[in-house]
Amino acid sequence: MIEKTLVILKPCTLQRGLVGEIINRFERKGLHLTGMKMVQLTDEILSEHYSHLSSKPFFQRVKNSMMAAPVIVCCLEGVDAIQVVHALAGPTNGRAATPGTIRGDYSMSYQENIVHTSDSPETAATELNRFFKPEEIFEYKQASFDFIYACDEY
């Protein structure tokens, strides 16, 4: 099933000059970029986004890290995109991530771990609505679509 999912390229990604490299990894896999913009996150939106961490002692540290520089928010689309993006990213802790994953290749940190990815269809829908207006996500057929999937895969 074709899905849309959110990816946030974190401030550490921008500061390290890895934006093009990370987007390239997703595109080379065959994921379809349907929305992308640079934003400066606020305490308010991060309190909502990370509300599940609000009781943790590191909550403010996470928010501060995500406000240290702008981020790039992306909407990626593809068959099973949520699982595919999550697998490409690798485990949250960059030190434990397998080489070949984004975090395994570019991160040595649990927090400064290059990307945020949605982990379920419900989360993806909520997060995409949080960061994108409907008119900021585009519907268009990728020219290579028929060469990425077999006709019975979508």
Q: Which residues are catalytic?
A: 116
**106: which 2 tokens?**
């570019």
**153: which 2 tokens?**
């895969």
> Is the separation of the CB atoms in 97 and 103 below 8 Å?
yes
Alpha carbons 8 and 40: distance in angstroms, whole number: 12
Cα→Cα distances 93→89, 97, 103, 108, 111, Å = 10, 6, 8, 7, 7
**20: which 2 tokens?**
């093009």
**1: which 2 tokens?**
């099933």
CA atoms within 13 A on the CB side of 104: 13
